[in-house]
Amino acid sequence: MATSEIMRIYTFPEPVLKTVADSVANINGQLQKFIDRMGETMYAAPGIGLAANQVGELKRILVYDLTSRSEGRNLSVLVNPEIVHGEGEIVYDEACLSVIDFSAEVTRQAQIKVRGYDRHGKPVEIEAEGLFAVCLQHEIDHLNGKLFIDHISSLKRGLYKRKLQKILKKGKDSEMRL
């Protein structure tokens, strides 16, 4: 993968994160470059998954890599992914590149089956469980305009929103002193 420009990752409460992404109709060279930039952005963050909404593009594309850093990189791409089956339950402490300074336990399906296309337009079907299932559900949620904080109680979500307001206010106060 060639070195490319790192994209801005949008953060809550920016509206693009609450917007449903559009299906991709044409996988072309321009889209390949966009996918490479998404991968570089995810690795630079660093994260294990990134959805196009998070970089301001309303396209049904996600990238992920659950390979340990010591094993190198293995970027995977899903275009127009959809969960076609799920069962069981898993609780996982999730965080997100778009939800700054916060993590929470989220209940999701333990095993899922996802259909979509790879970066070359070839149909793929993936069966995932554990962290892999959590990652795919988390990123597909982004494409559907949902964040992991939408899965937690309104009380915890409210606490996070207040915490975020303090963080943002503190950031503006320190900018004013510069």
What is the DSSP code string of 44-91? HTT-SEEEGGGGT--BSEEEE--S-GGG----EEEEEEEEEEEES-EE
How confident is the model at residue 82, as a pLDDT? Answer: 98
3-state helix, strand, coil in the chain (%, to 5): 40, 30, 30
Select which of 127, 129, 139, 175 is catalytic.
Answer: 139
Residue 136, domain CATH:
3.90.45.10
Average pLDDT over residues 92-96: 96
Tell me if 38 sits within 8 A of 9, measured CB to CB: no
Between CA 89 and CA 4 the distance in angstroms is 38
Between CA 116 and CA 139 the distance in angstroms is 13
pTM of the model: 0.90
How confident is the model at residue 172, as a pLDDT? Answer: 60
How confident is the model at residue 1, as a pLDDT? Answer: 44
Whether the per-residue pLDDT at 161 is higher than 50: the answer is yes
Whether the per-residue pLDDT at 176 is higher than 60: the answer is no
Between CA 172 and CA 86 the distance in angstroms is 43
CA atoms within 13 A on the CB side of 123: 2
Number of domains in the chain: 1
Average pLDDT over residues 101-123: 96
User: Closest Cα to residue 1, out of 27, 38, 45?
Assistant: 38
Whether residue 146 is contained in a domain is answered as yes
Higher pLDDT, 10 or 172: 10
Whether residue 7 is contained in a domain is answered as no
Whether residue 10 is contained in a domain is answered as no
Tokens representing residue 56 in the block: 């301001």
Band of residue 173 on the pLDDT scale cut at 50, 70, 90: low
Whether residue 104 is contained in a domain is answered as yes
Whether residue 1 is contained in a domain is answered as no
Whether residue 100 is contained in a domain is answered as yes
Average pLDDT over residues 111-138: 97
Whether the per-residue pLDDT at 178 is higher than 50: the answer is no
Whether residue 135 is contained in a domain is answered as yes
Band of residue 166 on the pLDDT scale cut at 50, 70, 90: confident
129 catalytic per annotation = no
Whether residue 84 is contained in a domain is answered as yes
Report the percentage of the chain scoring pLDDT > 90: 78
Q: Give the range of the structural domain holding residue 59, as residue numbers without chain letter.
A: 15-177
How confident is the model at residue 86, as a pLDDT? Answer: 97
Between CA 120 and CA 78 the distance in angstroms is 10
